[in-house]
Structure 1
Amino acid sequence: MNSLQAKTPGQLVREAMEAKGWGERDLAFAIGTAPGPINQILHDRRSISLAMARALGAALDRPAEEFARAQAEYDVQRADGPDPLVSSRSRILSRYPLREMVKRGWIDPDHRPGTLEEQVCQFFGVRSLDEVPHLNHSAKKTDYSDIPPAQLAWLFRVRQIALEMHPPTYSEAKLRDAVEAFKDMRGDPESVRRVPRFLNEAGVRYVVSEGLPSALIDGVCFWLDPKAPVIGMSIRFDRIDNFWFVLRHECAHVLHGHGKDQAILDEDIEANSMSPTSEEERVANTDAAEFCVPSEQMRSFYLRKNPYFSESDVIAFSKRMSVHPGLAVGQLQRMAKRYDLLRKHLVRIRSHLAGSMMMDGWGDVVPVGR
């Protein structure tokens, strides 16, 4: 029997003693301790400390690490097994911002029935963790394969909230009427309070949920069924120009029937508005830009005034277009790539919107499934 075959620290020590022809008392004498502790070590009733490992190594002419390693391996083998859910929680955490999802109240194992793992499955609408997108490492491509996990978690949160809503049946005509009505709201930031009501009356489920850190998500359009469109927004940039551009962009997706087969997630819309990634995005960008400030007039103003855009000129132009100056400023900043231009007109609107709907995030949690 060699040291590699020793099953316990005691067996390893006994083997080394026998190789020297020693008994327990001999080893105890060599080390300078009583026979009792040595007897306990030999019967694995006493652990080998690091100091004892060095003493044994010196007395028995063996590397001290050999005894220390044998003890460590033996302790691991005897230790109670971990909670079987540890590995599943690790799987989730390795792909999804799980702690942030718990912090946001999307998953709440302390106040909702079911374990954390069961709640994750419920959140994604599946029966087991193997069915959660991005947790199944098989080669099979899913509908969500190209969506980063943090964005996908946000999408499913929007879906979770949308399922709790019960607006009337979707009407394309009413949504078009709502978009026309929105034009009269572009000049007054407080008017965004009316947006949720118009969308609800058109049969559109409108969800505002704060995005997860680094997700860069602005909006989403998808359908729960052929008569139940959903518009989700993160209000990642709390600015009047971004709000109307993203809202009109998502309305365009709904009106054109986009997103029925697979959700359309709009990431970093402002950065991508000049170079759309698909025909659907090109159409939605065009409709949104035309809504914020008619493109022909915007281009004409830009060419006449570039590179000197005075505040008085911008305000006068915005008044003629019947829009808030922030909408014109937002367009000018992108066209001129001057993001410091007249920033004070990019007023915030989230607080106005919060007065007419429950928003998920920013310290609030929309209750679902309770």
Structure 2
Amino acid sequence: MTADLSYQPDRLVSPGAVLADFLDELDISARELARRCGRSAKLMVEIIAGKAPVEPETALQLERVLGMSADIWLGLEARYRLELAKTEEIESMAGATGWASRFPLAELRKRGLMGGTGVDGDAVRQLLAFFGCGSVESCKEKFRDLAAVSYRHSPSFKSTEEALLVWLRLGERKAGGIACADFDKSVFTKNLKEARALSRDPIDAALPELERLCAAAGVAFCIVKPIEGIRLSGISRWLTPRKALIQQSMRHMANDHFWFTFFHEAAHLLLHSRKTVFLDSADYRSASDAEEEEANKWATNFLVPQTLLETFIAGFEGTDEEVLDFAERHDVAAGIVVGQLQNRGVLTYRQMNHLKVRFKWAA
């Protein structure tokens, strides 16, 4: 029977196992192969046993003696050693399962970002890959740096930090797929004026246009479904000196809250430090009270100029028609006007909510 010298393995095997198959097929010993290659018998036996690697010089000799390309031998060797390293790494990571278990692994699996079912070394490895970190310690260091310069827990902290970190990373990953121009403050300010009018459009039509307007000014905008364990509406942050991110969770699922959150985060990008991650959250504080108040005032006035609203309030008789007419004349969603009237105490938080648009997550 003639040996198949064009042998191409279709599964991961050690080069030693392939070499042993060749020797069986050709009915020669390891010692004889070593003699033909000009290498020691001990080395050839160790290669067959997987103890010694196939080095480039040996691969070239095997090519001449056995007829299989040196590239294939070296490829087998590289894949085999990588697989061994992965196996050893997973075993070593088993000691970090307690750390990994604090993260919402079930949610990551539900979103198709992790495989498996349990909390083992492989789960640790996949979690590190999700965060883009090479080791558990480097991942922890990244989180410590983020916490130190970007946010702190509020006194009434209830959200889990691990869930927040996952949600932030989901936004980073989405933002990575959004091509943006370099940030330009004047373009962003101009485009925000166009974005304001989008509040009157159906949300499915508004979101792609909002993403386009933001990207043209150097801001990645994305919606990331919230994760159980955090009470968060949105964040603004700088990913690079030339690219910012506004990330929202659609918390409360109503148009007044959504649009106020967007313009609140936009205000942070325009007015405040690039070193801070600004979180609109019930459980975290990042901005100072003064910065939060400034962002609130800017967003409120940008959405509905307060001098106009005060004039409206002075003659307001409490009808839907008045709110709808005011919103149409000033090209803003009626729900936003209702939200501001409620915030001022002109309406209670139960009045006119039917003028707000409610959202639902797609199945």
Letter in structure 2 aligned against 1:309: G
Confirm whether residue 230 of structure 1 aligns to residue 236 of structure 2: no
Mapped partners of 1:315, 1:145: distance in 2: 39
Deviation of 1:251 (Å): 1.4
Mapped partners of 1:166, 1:108: distance in 2: 29
Task: Specify the SS of the correspondent of 2:134.
Answer: coil
Mapped partners of 1:160, 1:182: distance in 2: 24
Deviation of 1:304 (Å): 4.7
Confirm whether residue 315 of structure 1 aligns to residue 324 of structure 2: yes
Mapped partners of 1:183, 1:142: distance in 2: 34
Task: Specify the SS of the correspondent of 2:233.
Answer: strand
Query: Match of 1:335?
Result: 344
Query: Match of 2:305?
Result: 294
Confirm whether residue 91 of structure 1 aligns to residue 99 of structure 2: yes
Task: Specify the SS of the correspondent of 2:168.
Answer: helix
Task: Specify the SS of the correspondent of 2:152.
Answer: coil
Q: What is the correspondence of 1:92-241 to structure 2 with a 5 Å cutoff?
A: 92-93=100-101, 95-109=102-116, 115-133=122-140, 142-143=148-149, 146=152, 148-189=161-202, 192-193=206-207, 194-241=209-256
Confirm whether residue 344 of structure 1 aligns to residue 348 of structure 2: no
Task: Specify the SS of the correspondent of 2:268.
Answer: helix
- Give unmatched runs, 5+ long, in structure 1: 1-82, 352-361, 364-370
Query: Match of 1:28?
Result: none
Query: Match of 1:358?
Result: none
Structure 1 residues 196 and 135 mapped into 2: Cα distance closer, same or farther (>3 Å)?
closer
Mapped partners of 1:347, 1:101: distance in 2: 30
Q: What RMSD over aligned residues (CA atoms) do the two structures have, in Å?
A: 3.4
Deviation of 1:268 (Å): 4.4
Deviation of 1:100 (Å): 1.9
Structure 1 residues 143 and 89 mapped into 2: Cα distance closer, same or farther (>3 Å)?
farther
Amino-acid identity (%): 25
Deviation of 1:285 (Å): 1.0
Mapped partners of 1:152, 1:192: distance in 2: 28
Deviation of 1:289 (Å): 0.8
Letter in structure 1 aligned against 2:353: R
Letter in structure 2 aligned against 1:215: I
Task: Specify the SS of the correspondent of 1:186.
Answer: helix
Query: Match of 1:35?
Result: none
Structure 1 residues 280 and 204 mapped into 2: Cα distance closer, same or farther (>3 Å)?
same
Letter in structure 2 aligned against 1:278: D
Mapped partners of 2:359, 2:183: distance in 1: 26
Deviation of 1:101 (Å): 2.5
Q: Which structure has the larger Rg over C-alpha atoms?
A: 1
Letter in structure 2 aligned against 1:150: A
Task: Specify the SS of the correspondent of 2:189.
Answer: helix
Equivalences, count: 260
Deviation of 1:86 (Å): 5.1
Name which of structure 1's ranges 220-229 and 340-349 shifts more when overlaid on structure 2: 340-349
TM-score (norm 2): 0.62
Deviation of 1:280 (Å): 2.3
Q: Deviations over 1:77-105 (max 9, x none)?
A: xxxxxx76555223222x32222222223
TM-score (norm 1): 0.61
- Give unmatched runs, 5+ long, in structure 2: 1-90, 154-160
CA contact 1:91–1:135 (8 Å) conserved in 2: no
